[in-house]
Structure formats: C-alpha cells, structure tokens
A and B are shown apart, each in its own frame.
Chain A
Amino acid sequence: MSTSATEREPRAAESAPDRGRTPRRGWSDLPSPLRHLLFAALALAAVTGLLLVTGDLTALRMAAVGYTMLAVAGLQLLTGGSGQVSLGHGAFMMIGAYTMALLVLNLPMLPLAVNLVLVVAVAVVAGIAVGAATARLHGPYLAGATLILAVGLPGLTHRYHEVFGGSNGLTVHTAGAPPFLQGLVSDSEWKALVVWTAVVLALAVLATISTGRLGRRMRTVRDDETAAAMSGIPVGGTKVTAFVIASAAGGLAGGLQVYVLGTATPSMFTLALSLTLLAALVLGGIGSMWGALWAALAVVYLEIWLSDAVRAFDLSKDVENNLPIVLFGVLLILVLRFQPLGLHGILQRLRALLRRAR
C-alpha cells in the first residue's frame, strides 16, 4: 500500500507548479508573498486530496515528510543561501521538540497555534545565541562547532532529568481530529493535515525571504564576504539572521514532530539525524526549494524501500540489516558524482530532455 501511495505523492506535489504555469504571465506578476501563499494553498490542496485516499500509515509518513521538509528547507536557506555549513541542525529540532512537549505537558489548555508560535519564539532565541556565537567562524570551524552542538545538547536532558525526563524523554498526548469530524478523518490524517498547513505556510515565508532582499544579501555574503561588506551589506548580521531563520524552521519542524509522534527523547535527535538532514539536502538538490521535498521523501521513504527490496533476497541477517545503509551511502556518492545538483538536478535534466523530444 505504501508503495502505491508514494508513487502518487511526487506526482501530486508536481501538479502544483503545472497548475501555476498556465497563467504564466499573471502568475509571475503577482507580488512574491502572495504568489508563495497561493502556491502554498495549492500544495495543501494536493496533500489533502492525497490524504483522503490513503490510510493512517501514509498519513504518519506524509506528516514526517512535511516536518522533515521544513527542517531541510531551513537548512537550505542557511547552507545553500548564506553558505554556512551546519552539521548540527538536529539540535534546533530538538529545542523545538522539547519546547512543544513541555508546553503540552504543563499548559495543556494552550491552543496548538499558540504552542507553535512559542516554539518558533524559543527557536529564534536559540538561533540568535548560536548564530552570534558562530558568526565569526568559517569552514571547518563552523562545521565542528555545530557538530559538537548536536552531540552536546542532548546532555542537558540527562543533567536536568526532572525537567526533560532523561533518556526516556517526555511523552505527551495531543488532541486529534475535532469531534464533529470523527469517522470522516482519522486522528493521524488530521495531524498530517495540521502539519502540512503549518509547513506550507512556513515554506511560503521561507520562499519569500529567499527570493527577497534578504535572500539576495545572503547569497552575496556566501559568494564573497569582502565584496558584500564593501557594498554595504552587514555581513555578521546577515549570517546571524540566516541562523535565526534556519533555527526557527528547524524548531517548528521539531515541534510538529512531537505533535504527531507524542514523544520527545534524546535518542531521536542524534548526530545521525543532523548528518542525515544535511546529506539529504545535498542529495535532494541544494539549489531549489523542490530539493527539500525530494530530500524529505528520501529521508522518510528511501530506507523503507531499500529494506523491502533487500528482504526480497534470501540474505544472512548481518547482510540484510546493513545492506540498506550501504546502498544509501552508494546512492549518495553516485548521485553527487554524476549530478552535483542532486535529485532535483536529475529531474530538471529529464524535463529538459522530454521538452526537446516533444
């Protein structure tokens, strides 16, 4: 079931730009925020349609695609946009996740929208702190500092065991579908819908930033810091801002994850998560927002598919368990070897081929 559903998914998402293309002139004349909002509405409609015809498992995985995509998109703005390579993006997800869990536990009467706003606020503060601490760092120094951030932060949950629940973390119950929809929409489908609503709104904001003045500034800083400074761009400020935006996106993603999964533990936010996010970003394609979607699909589905594929063969347990990891690594290497722009690059090339054939 999951296979059929997921084959449909990229197509459903793909349909959005197609629809957008018809009134091409009018479309690009719209002011950028409005254009991105419209786009978001279309994406949401596509997701809703997909949810209505699939089951709970797909709903859970689509929700995962949603929040992973948001986290990757934030990282994209930071790394692709401002050129700062962060190996610790999982730390921001963790901050968002624990904020969400603590809010639900301690203030259960607060509406979800308020929780999400508070999650973003906390993540923004964290982003300012990290961004300010790392603004002067470059290259491997920044990578090393963010790496140790992702590894060190979970230590806090052990130190303040009473607050964060140690290695067992926090378990929360979040409200599902409202009563009058029961029977029509399951809790999981409902939560997936809520996640995607928040995600597409946030993505619209990210896209607006990326195409706007701030985005241009970031790219100038990325390409040449000296030139950027000479043309009057506040280099430090721009870099910190990029961190703040990435942190907000990551935090919101973590908050949404807890909303869906109902649990936040240190073992969810390991070094492996941070590295996977960055690897997926590059695999998906760092140059385009679409890359974040392919990245999220890869994170959620690739390992499932690979495991299923491997099981079709009669292999020893050691091989069966580890082969998916090897295949993922090989795929990563091959894609980067032959298409540095990632999966999005491959798709673009395919599209160009199709157009020429036509």
Chain B
Amino acid sequence: MDHFVDLTLSGLASGAVYAALALSLVIIYQATRLVNFAQPAIALIAVYTAATVAPLTGSYWVGFVAALTVGAAAGALVERFVVRPIARVSQLNGIIVTLGLLLVAQGGVGMIWGNEQHGFSYAFDFVGRPSPADVFALVSVAVVAALLFCLYRFTPLGLRMRAAAFRPEAARLSGVKVGLMLTTGWAISALIASLAGMLAGPPFISPNVFDIVFVYGITAAVVGGLDNPFGAIIGGLLVGLGMSYVSGYAGPELATLTALALVVLVLSVRPDGILSRPTARKV
C-alpha cells in the first residue's frame, strides 16, 4: 500500500510537469494552431538563464524571474520575426520552423554552456513525500490553468486572442490587432513553457534534457484536449500517474509504451481529447 502511495505521489509530481508543458502547448494552439517544437527550446533557454543568473545573484528567485522574463521575451521575438512569416504559408512549414528553432537552441546552449550535465536546484526542498518542491509544482500548475481559463473565458483580451487565432480575417475586420494578439499568445505560452522548464529541469540539465519531457507534454495535451486548459492538467496527471504505476508494477521499460497506449485508448474514443467539445469542430 505504501508503494502505491509512493507511486501516486511521484506520478503526480511528474504529471504536474507534463501538465505545465501541455498548458503552454494549449495556449500556442489557441493562438496559432501549431504543434510547437520551440517550447522545449524556450524552456531550455529559460533554465540556462536561471542557472547562470541564480549563482551570480545568490538567489534562486532572481534566477527564476530572469528565466521567465527571458523565456517570454524569446517567445515574443521568435513569433514576430521567425515564425509568423513562415507559418503563414502552411502549418507544416510552421512545425518545421519550430523544429529548426529547437536545433538552434540546443546547439547554442551546447556552444555556450557545454554538453555536460549540470546540477539545477529545485524551487523548494526536495526531501519528503510529497516534498515542498512537488507541492509547489502542483500548485503553480493549477494556478496557471485557472488564470488561463479566466483569461480566455472572461476577459476581452482572451476573446480577441481566440478570434485572432481561429477567424483572423473576421477578427481583423472587427478591429482586433491580429499580429499583436499572436505575439501576446506566444509570449504567454513561452512564459508557461519557461515555468515548465523550471519545474522539469531539476535535478540535472543538459541540452537534450527536455526532449522526452516535451513528448510527454504533447501526449498530455492531446489526451486532455487542446481546447481547454483543464484538459492539459487532466492529461498531464493521467500520463504522469499512468507511467508511474506501470513503471512500478510492471517495469520501467514500459513507461513510454504506457503513454502510447494512453493516447491510442483516449483518442480512439474521443479524437479531440478528453475535455473536447464534441460539436465544436467543423471540417
């Protein structure tokens, strides 16, 4: 029974991280309808910023703020100057250009900081089950999801962002600055990706650290459904718990297969994820 509790707690902790990445993907999808490989790139830049700033200033939280700021700025710049002119042509080209950005970020980080692994601190003490660090991850992800939900449902900004993403022409006609909305969407998404990086990075970071985490993040996003921030949370926790239980009871080599099975199962019943609105989609 103890074992079950242990597995549940560690599943929740890693699930929170996947949920954070999934959340940032949901925003991007809401804003640009892209599968965005630049998310791990931004997370990477953010954690290396933190790893550089924190020791200099002696404060984890200064590093944390620096990471989120740099990450959000990188997201906005990338959208405005790299992604927008290319994604306009086709969605596929948009995906590929974010892949190109990922390569640039990974190589760039390797050039500056080397390919070695570096220790990277948790926000809070990691000792205990659940540890303060785990609790921080869960709480921050829940708060972010709630804020996003409010942003999209109750604020004019959120409405404009959705309009700009899904009906850009109509939005433009009714006076929405579509370009600005896209950049805002990317900045918010990059901010959340940076947060996800700060949660997923510890204990060790290296240029490829987010590859696999990002795959689980996408898994969580499509399992939960890209329409709803709470879907990302449900998806993240499902993936985290599922992989933890299977690792613990059947063997860790099955962890990735579990994620695959989860995707197949959920999507065969609900092709738009758990929290999709069944009638919303038009072909």
- Is there a contact between chains A and B in the complex with CB atoms less than 8 Å apart? yes
Q: Which of B121-129, B161-169, B211-219 forms contacts with chain A?
A: B211-219
B103 on the A face (CB < 8 A): yes
A177 on the B face (CB < 8 A): no
Q: Report whether B256 and A321 are in contact in the complex, using a CB–CB cutoff of 8 Å.
A: no
A282 on the B face (CB < 8 A): yes
A139 on the B face (CB < 8 A): yes
Q: Report whether B263 and A333 are in contact in the complex, using a CB–CB cutoff of 8 Å.
A: no
Q: Report whether A141 and B101 are in contact in the complex, using a CB–CB cutoff of 8 Å.
A: no
Chain A residues whose C-beta falls within 8 Å of the C-beta of B255 in the assembled complex = 155
Bound CA–CA A286/B207 (angstroms) = 30
Query: When the two chains form the complex, which single residue of B101, B113, B115, B222 contacts A329, counting CB atoms closer than 8 Å?
Result: B101
Chain B residues whose C-beta falls within 8 Å of the C-beta of A133 in the assembled complex = 264, 267-268
A156 on the B face (CB < 8 A): yes
Q: Report whether B218 and A147 are in contact in the complex, using a CB–CB cutoff of 8 Å.
A: yes
Could you say which of B91, B107, B110, B259 has the most chain A C-beta atoms within 10 Å of its C-beta?
A: B107
Bound CA–CA A332/B104 (angstroms) = 10
Chain A residues whose C-beta falls within 8 Å of the C-beta of B264 in the assembled complex = 133, 145
Q: Report whether B215 and A147 are in contact in the complex, using a CB–CB cutoff of 8 Å.
A: yes
Chain B residues whose C-beta falls within 8 Å of the C-beta of A329 in the assembled complex = 99-104, 107
B159 on the A face (CB < 8 A): no
Bound CA–CA A328/B97 (angstroms) = 11
B1 on the A face (CB < 8 A): no
Chain B residues whose C-beta falls within 8 Å of the C-beta of A224 in the assembled complex = 283
Q: Report whether B260 and A85 are in contact in the complex, using a CB–CB cutoff of 8 Å.
A: no
A318 on the B face (CB < 8 A): yes
Q: Which of B81-89, B131-139, B197-205 forms contacts with chain A?
A: B81-89
Bound CA–CA A279/B254 (angstroms) = 29
Q: Report whether B222 and A140 are in contact in the complex, using a CB–CB cutoff of 8 Å.
A: yes
Q: Report whether B253 and A159 are in contact in the complex, using a CB–CB cutoff of 8 Å.
A: yes
A325 on the B face (CB < 8 A): yes
Interface residues of B in 36-78 (CB under 8 A from A): 37
Given A144-B263, A145-B263, A159-B251, verify A319-B218 contact (CB < 8 Å). Answer: no
Instruction: Please encode chain A, from 313 to 349, with 1 for each CB lying within 8 Å of some chain B CB and 0 for all others.
Output: 0000011011111101111110011001000000000
Query: When the two chains form the complex, which single residue of A140, A225, A322 contacts B111, counting CB atoms closer than 8 Å?
Result: A322
Nearest CB in chain A: distance from B62 CB, A: 26
Query: When the two chains form the complex, which single residue of B86, B96, B211, B267 contacts A278, counting CB atoms closer than 8 Å?
Result: B96
Q: Report whether B97 and A332 are in contact in the complex, using a CB–CB cutoff of 8 Å.
A: yes
Q: Report whether B108 and A333 are in contact in the complex, using a CB–CB cutoff of 8 Å.
A: no
Q: Report whether B222 and A155 are in contact in the complex, using a CB–CB cutoff of 8 Å.
A: no
B273 on the A face (CB < 8 A): yes
29 residue pairs of the A-B complex, CB under 8 angstroms, read A85-B95, A133-B268, A137-B267, A137-B271, A139-B35, A140-B35, A141-B273, A143-B35, A143-B95, A143-B218, A144-B35, A147-B219, A148-B260, A153-B257, A155-B257, A224-B283, A271-B215, A318-B110, A322-B106, A322-B107, A322-B207, A324-B107, A325-B106, A326-B111, A330-B100, A333-B82, A333-B97, A337-B86, A337-B97
Chain B residues engaging chain A, CB cutoff 8 angstroms: 25, 29, 33-35, 37, 82, 85-86, 89-93, 95-97, 99-104, 106-108, 110-115, 207, 211-212, 215, 218-219, 221-222, 226, 251, 253-257, 259-260, 263-264, 267-268, 271-273, 283
Further contacts, 14 of them, CB under 8 A, given A148-B215, A151-B260, A336-B96? A85-B91, A87-B35, A141-B226, A148-B219, A154-B256, A155-B256, A159-B251, A278-B96, A322-B107, A322-B111, A323-B111, A328-B103, A329-B102, A333-B82
Chain A residues engaging chain B, CB cutoff 8 angstroms: 79, 85, 87, 133-134, 136-141, 143-145, 147-149, 151-156, 158-159, 224-226, 271, 275, 278-279, 282-283, 286, 318-319, 321-326, 328-333, 336-337, 340
